[in-house]
Amino acid sequence: MNRIDERFKKLKEENKKALIPYICCGDPSVEDSEKLVYALEEAGADIIELGIPYSDPLADGPVIQAAGLRAFAGGFRLEDTFKIVKNVRKNSQIPLVIMVYYSSIIGFGKEKFVELCVDADVDGLIVPDLPYEEYDELKPLLDETNVYMIPLVALTSEDRIPMLVKESKGFVYCVSSLGVTGVRKEFDTRIDSFVAKVKEATDTPACIGFGISTKADVERFDKIADGCIVGSAIVRKIFDSKMNLDEIKAFVSSLK
């Protein structure tokens, strides 16, 4: 059983919802990324999403784009992601999901990328720029492994939900609103019915991301979903606090 499945099984038994923080690998440094994983786990994270910086991040808002630029300025390379995961695996079994643009995978080599995921013991992949129609470019390689392909389902694809989630594993990433990642003051009014349709179509847990930044947001969405993904707010806290782990942990704990 994949670690993601184990975590959701445990959460269901405890009647709890998943908190899934996102960090940008290499921001502020590769070494700090490893420290952040431990800090987030200590603060109550259930699964951690590791974003691989990309030069043209279509789904990322300004906060995460800036983090990616800082990572590149510090010399980050894609291979460093696997170094982080391997080091973490010496000390922790927290589920780790990589968010990576398909263009990066292609540039690196699909087979080689999947091999490194398996070797490092990654639990899942989120590929925001890979449309469902092109899943066959990558999914067959992953299906031979224990690395899950996490589907990203947007509000604009309501009529395609059954097709998009029919073979889903791990969790379904429900995009809360149109546009890029980042803190939002309000969310699309269709989100409740949208998540309900996802949950009708699959038994795979449904988690909501994009724009979630406060405890109130988490409480709001935990009522309708199986977990929340928090990205930009955490990346901003890492930057604003100058990598103060106590401040970062306090913020993440406050979301639980």
Residue 255 lies in a domain: no
What confidence category does residue 178 fall into, taking pLDDT thresholds of 50, 70 and 90? low
- If you search the block for the tokens 């993904």, which residue do you land on? 229
CATH code of the domain containing 173: 3.20.20.70
Task: Report the number of distinct structural domains present in the chain.
Answer: 1
Residue 178 lies in a domain: yes
- E strands within 32-131? 48-51, 96-99, 124-126
* CA nearest to 95, candidates 138, 147, 168: 147
46 DSSP assignment: S
Domain limits for position 70:
3-250
Q: What is the predicted pLDDT for the residue at 187?
A: 79
Distance CA 142, CA 146 (A): 7
Letter string b/e over residues 18-29, b meaning 16 or more CB atoms within 10 A of that residue's CB: bbbbbbbbbbbb
Residue 157 lies in a domain: yes
Residue 89 lies in a domain: yes
Residue 107 lies in a domain: yes
Q: What is the predicted pLDDT for the residue at 211?
A: 87
Residue 123 lies in a domain: yes
Residue 137 lies in a domain: yes
Residue 256 lies in a domain: no
Catalytic residues: 49, 60
* pTM of the shown model: 0.95
